[in-house]
Structure 1
């Protein structure tokens, strides 16, 4: 048992497929022990556990999978760290967003009530649930017609991934579930409710995913223009908002028994997985963009100026740290796209070689792709397999690959897709700069940092140095930092980040020759981007409509 560590915090990160707990030393951010729990149901996108089939573009989750992270991962992380529960001064959580669910007044998910077990809309909608695009389009249309001032804070578009679009879909397609939902709550806040026994809402998810700006939600007249029965929707959301890094409550006896922590341990206000990572990477200064790269990528950045950035996911005062405007943008698919390439383009002989050498198919394709010169494969791709989050904000766009020949190899496709995701990030950086919010520094975090070729490609395409978060558990570390602030170990998030964060500066620097070659190819990407994404040719929408027709 460790005796030389006076205080630790626990950060719990709830991802798309698993949750992880991390025990961190408060004094310097040392990572002492961690554990991961895979969700038993993963992403529910084909059928409910009882067999009810789901339409395309649906993505749901099961609340018990989240509870099981608390039950299994937290005690295992404590054991791995060799610390006593008495040494834990605080716990904090982060979640994917917008992952949102309908509950009763006491926080019971409707999906766990027998009467709603076979009704898809009673289940939590995962962030990548994209079936609410018609509702998102209507929200934007009515906002433009009525001159809603908040629309510009979201780059002029509202995503199908967010709270209002998903809730409106519930009302339109299953009014019974909508009526039974006393509360409509982000999973980031629901999990805190499970720990403290009291409802708490965080400023971050409300601002970025809940259209909460300047102290208020959209008014009832506007909501009624979307649907007469939607006028009172805000009542399902309305609750005082808590500042990030603040105390949400104390661990209940039931939660203490579940997690192995002490009853009464401080619980911090909930947060989004991407936004909490800013503290872990020390990426809190204005102009310092952080890209959290995994199945998707979220780009966050603080600024001391407020500007309208076309296609941004949102800008929220105090949304990342108090006192600054926090900007968010993102790409709906990155790691997911590369996983698709492995599933669909890897022939038997490649898989056999990977097994023989004891490496993954990703590693084999990366190795072969890295041996090529820039442009050597003759391909250009659009990274929209999961739609486009920024800057087009259109989940009904789709992937594209141009230049295929009978000589095209799997590694060619793999490299083209890596490059496409880098071009997508470049498009976001350029949009911020053009809007008067310059990106002065760029840092990457997340699971894709393991692919060094991918990271070098990003540096070359961006033509700028790329820092990296020197931790494989960025969100969990960021949550642990927020827990330290809530427990009173540091005065604020900036101070805690300076002591506990981990940043490796200029881990990758651009190669001038490759950067120049990518500059030319990026122009081709932008031509395709604008042609298919800005209405010149809406063939992607027409094709998707043949697959996802809804009454």
Structure 2
């Protein structure tokens, strides 16, 4: 049994909930994952809905599992940290789930009370918002995504009875979880600033909540109620905390009982899952040089050039700066998203892991691939790698890029999040032949990886052209296990890629770091009851959070760009074609729109 203080990280991803138990060194002692349910609509591919009840049940099971597996006593768990997807959770004023499904059910009590981040039903509402020209839009890259919370809330207002809408509380999912854990309505800077159109005082022209903007788009009732439905105004009827600050008085009696923990255990203010991935990776050291020594211990200022790429169903690209950097089509700059006084920009690809799965599973040879993997007692990705090796030998080349030099794929099957901020973009493929065999599937798999890497280069170039100086990519998530893709990222973007010790655990490790930070702050400062006190303590302890990140991040490894000039030449040509594909699609779309008038 592991001794000393321990910390639990809770991570709610797109399709699962996970809890991990860590010791103070960052060693993962035990972890557990359960799938969560997503409801789709066969008549409308835009719809993605979930349930807070379902997610909470999975979290409780995970926590019981890690305590049982580790043998750690509940009283030795000193802090709990939380992250979750940026999905909209809706309850009534007592915390009871409110149905978000369209039709007569909308607004009634019902399990399906989460509009998932991937839900694209609020297209008209986002268009209305983006037509306002509001100052708020400058802090989301110039265009508000329909994946954010304000368009979703506006959609609900249009489809829910007025009396029921006025009785709702709206949470970004990370904040709902701290509410469920503690009973406190304190919100996180991360959720409000990144997804709810809150621009902190101190940003140019900001008053916090923008009354004119919300009234202009039709949410004047939210303004009249002094933003209570969104968490209130800091310092008057609301409390907003930076990442990991202690929430309320810790675990409520009911939450503690359901989780198997002690009442009053400190809970840290939550972050969106991608930001937990940033926390869990960018302070990491890594082996460098032929002797394998570790890189120098980083300081907070070193975070400026480190882009965290958190890759799962989708991919987020997060970088921090001391001054706000405005990048068209890239979300942010977000002040205080993690560290007080620092700013974040967030690029993103709406579909990456999901895209890879789609391209494989919809191919005619998928059945053959799966059978081969089963027969060889391996996984489909190993079979695809073997197939690509065979194709290279047949072609007399050592280059995967050469194999697909005449196959070009544009990957925005679910719209473009960054840097175009265009939900109407769609995928395209050029170079098709009358081949539906396993070799063709392997080539399309490889070109999908290329497209994901090429789009990452596009995002990085836009960030750098507006003021960032990105010099490395810190990967996390399931895609970081894909060796070929990681080498592609390094080669296409021409920067080293740093892989964490445990890529699939980086996000939940980041959440656990917030649990430790919360426990340390609570021990020094007690409960944070006022906005002034919270802001003072946040500024005083920001270096403490960075040091916890350094101390608890296990060393990783570095993937350097390839030295092959031939591959670089091919990839540069592919990138030029990738950029041309964007302009071609836009011009074709305009031609068809004009012809439809």
Both proteins in one fold, TM over 0.5:
yes
1:361 to 374, 377, 380: 380
1:100 to 88, 98, 105: 88
Contact kept, 8 Å, 2:48 with 2:115, in 1: the verdict is: yes
Partner of 2:506: 474
Equivalent residue runs for 1:8-157 within 5 Å = 8-26=6-24, 28-39=25-36, 42-46=37-41, 55-97=44-86, 99-111=87-99, 123-142=113-132, 144=133, 148-157=134-143
CA distance in 1, matches of 2:72, 2:592: 54
Contact kept, 8 Å, 1:104 with 1:180, in 2: the verdict is: no
CA distance in 1, matches of 2:189, 2:222: 22
Partner of 2:361: 343
Q: Which moved more, 1:346-355 or 1:435-444?
A: 346-355
CA distance in 2, matches of 1:394, 1:186: 23
Contact kept, 8 Å, 2:474 with 2:500, in 1: the verdict is: yes
Equivalent residue runs for 1:469-548 within 5 Å = 469-471=500-502, 472-488=504-520, 491=541, 492-513=544-565, 514-532=567-585, 535-538=586-589
Partner of 2:477: 446
CA distance in 1, matches of 2:178, 2:592: 39
Partner of 1:309: 327
Q: 1:218, CA displacement in angstroms?
A: 4.9
Q: SS where residue 56 of structure 1 aligns? A: strand
Contact kept, 8 Å, 1:204 with 1:319, in 2: the verdict is: yes
CA distance in 2, matches of 1:369, 1:305: 45
Aligned length: 526
CA distance in 2, matches of 1:256, 1:443: 35
CA distance in 2, matches of 1:167, 1:34: 34
CA distance in 2, matches of 1:221, 1:310: 23
Q: Which moved more, 1:249-258 or 1:402-411?
A: 402-411
Q: Tell me the TM-score normalized by structure 2.
A: 0.83
Partner of 1:548: none
User: Taking structure 1 as reference, are residues 112 and 323 closer, same or farther at Cα in structure 2, changes over 3 Å only?
Assistant: closer
User: Taking structure 1 as reference, are residues 227 and 401 closer, same or farther at Cα in structure 2, changes over 3 Å only?
Assistant: same
Q: Which moved more, 1:362-371 or 1:161-170?
A: 362-371
CA distance in 2, matches of 1:210, 1:318: 14
User: Taking structure 1 as reference, are residues 444 and 541 closer, same or farther at Cα in structure 2, changes over 3 Å only?
Assistant: farther
CA distance in 1, matches of 2:7, 2:411: 38
Structure 2 unmatched runs, 5+: 202-206, 233-237, 284-299, 393-398, 525-540
Q: SS where residue 384 of structure 1 aligns? A: coil
Q: Which moved more, 1:53-62 or 1:11-20?
A: 53-62
Q: 1:186, CA displacement in angstroms?
A: 1.0
User: Taking structure 1 as reference, are residues 228 and 315 closer, same or farther at Cα in structure 2, changes over 3 Å only?
Assistant: closer
Q: 1:462, CA displacement in angstroms?
A: 1.0
Contact kept, 8 Å, 1:291 with 1:444, in 2: the verdict is: yes
1:223 to 191, 200, 214: 214
User: Taking structure 1 as reference, are residues 173 and 56 closer, same or farther at Cα in structure 2, changes over 3 Å only?
Assistant: farther
Partner of 1:49: none
Contact kept, 8 Å, 2:98 with 2:109, in 1: the verdict is: no
Q: Does 1:334 align with 2:333?
A: no
Q: 1:115, CA displacement in angstroms?
A: 6.9
Partner of 2:486: 455
Partner of 2:290: none
Q: 1:470, CA displacement in angstroms?
A: 1.4
Contact kept, 8 Å, 1:298 with 1:329, in 2: the verdict is: yes
Equivalent residue runs for 1:199-218 within 5 Å = 199-215=185-201, 216-218=207-209
CA distance in 1, matches of 2:316, 2:110: 27
User: Taking structure 1 as reference, are residues 360 and 139 closer, same or farther at Cα in structure 2, changes over 3 Å only?
Assistant: same
Contact kept, 8 Å, 2:476 with 2:507, in 1: the verdict is: no
Q: 1:103, CA displacement in angstroms?
A: 1.4
Q: Which moved more, 1:482-491 or 1:227-236?
A: 227-236
Q: 1:70, CA displacement in angstroms?
A: 2.5
User: Taking structure 1 as reference, are residues 95 and 218 closer, same or farther at Cα in structure 2, changes over 3 Å only?
Assistant: same
User: Taking structure 1 as reference, are residues 176 and 360 closer, same or farther at Cα in structure 2, changes over 3 Å only?
Assistant: farther
